Structure 1
Amino acid sequence: MKRNRSIVSTSDPRQVQVSTLLSIKTGACPEDCKYCPQSARYKTGLESERLMEG
């Protein structure tokens, strides 16, 4: 907590870092995990998407 406070107190509050999370395997994972909504083996209500080119 002390380290966090030191970072916050020395940072410029007008600068904002924007981050996003991206699922690259939505509905197309080949693993057999019953708890996971990304598994291709179960009907989860998600539509499969192609992997991103990168």
Structure 2
Amino acid sequence: MAQFEGIRYLACKTSADLFELEQEDFLEGVEIMLAEEFAKRAVGSDLHMVF
């Protein structure tokens, strides 16, 4: 439901690799990316939450 409002879910690639998780282990729509890529995208965003 949140995805329909434009919310994006991102997972850290380094953490996913550490726990041997693949794309299919995540919910549909979750993007996996490196922290560097997240930082580049976060610069222009209005809000981001990290857990």
TM-score (normalizing by structure 1)? 0.22
Q: Tell me which protein shows more helix as a share of its residues.
A: 2
Which entry has the higher C-alpha Rg, 1 or 2? 1
Could you say which structure has the greater relative contact order, defined with CA pairs below 8 angstroms and 6 or more residues apart?
2
Larger strand proportion, structure 1 or 2?
2
